[in-house]
Amino acid sequence: MLLAAFVFFSVNTVYFVEAPPTELQAAEDKSCHFDFSKVRAKTPHLNLRSALLVNYSNGEVLYAKDPDSPRPIASITKLVTAMVVLDDGVKLDTTETITRDDARQSSRSRLRVGTRLTVRDLLCAALMNSDNRAARALARVTSGTIEEFVRAMNLKARQLGLKKTEFFDPTGLDERNVSTAHEVAKLLHYAYDYPLIAQITSTARHRCRALNRKNAWIQIANTNQLIRSKYKVLTGKTGYIRESDYCLTTLVQNAKGERLTCVVLGVPGDRLRFREARRLVEWGFRQV
């Protein structure tokens, strides 16, 4: 029996969805699909393990390198962390204090133990500066425990149809947090449908105040260096741990209004990931 097809519209993205026989299945199987039939034969040579470049307007994949092999995604994880927080409906002016447990393996954080911030500012720290302490605090204020929050993250991944994406912590420090270039691109599209995530991740700098410290202002800078390029960054997230090497997923727009979704995973260098992403994006805009 042939399955009917219909189009599901969200705020920013059009998703093509198959309609199985029952309404329950339709709700469970909703997912975004990309068209791999238009991958270009002549593509740039890039120094990375896995990558994908998608024309955001129609879902056509222009470039793909090992797109379906699971790899550690490091702090790209925090896109799902933010989605789970927002799905839960936690009020943005709710406050949470950074604890010693939050500070584990997070020595570079600007958030000192004892600092009290709003959920909005914790989201900015987690998404812009990739702050691990902020991600753990968000998990606690949302679910009570890290374990419960991680369960919600994996449920979210299943709801989005991400079959090769799995999480073990909300920060990305755990190398078992894995996905594929293909599913990371989908994940970015879904994250972009959250206006606050889009707003935060497209902002270069944010200044917030520690609520329990007099005149204690914290400066947060976006780690996505493409935000300082000639392209307009609409959303994105960086990631790095030793097991993942350097990673980036971002949605960029050129002066003509054309938009490309770029994913680069396993790049052997911090600056190199942005150079390779720019090369891929510049090549891609010549293809659309």
Q: Would residue 50 show up in a list of annotated catalytic residues for this protein?
A: no
Count of residues in the chain:
288
Of the residues 65, 78, 186, 237, only one is catalytic, namely 78
The CA distance from 130 to 76, in Å, is: 9
> Which long-range contacts link 11-18 to residues 24+ away (Cβ below 8 Å)?
11/193, 11/195, 12/189, 12/192, 12/193, 12/198, 13/56, 13/189, 13/190, 13/192, 13/193, 14/59, 16/59
Residue environment code for 62-99, b if the CB has 16+ CB neighbours within 10 A, otherwise e:
bbbbbbeeebbbbbbbbbbbbbbbbeeebeeeeebbbe
Of the residues 106, 130, 143, 179, only one is catalytic, namely 130
CB 231 within 8 A of CB 225: no
Through-space distance between the first and last CA atoms of the chain, rounded to whole angstroms: 36
Q: Would residue 130 show up in a list of annotated catalytic residues for this protein?
A: yes
**H or E element: which one contains 247?**
strand 245-253
Q: Is the dihedral of CA 276, 278, 283, 287 positive or negative?
A: positive
Distance, C-alpha 83 to centroid of its chain: 9
- As given in the structure block, the two tokens for residue 60 are 């056509």
Task: Tell me the CB-side half-sphere exposure of residue 2, using CA atoms within 13 A.
Answer: 2
Q: Would residue 78 show up in a list of annotated catalytic residues for this protein?
A: yes
Active-site amino acid positions: 75, 78, 130
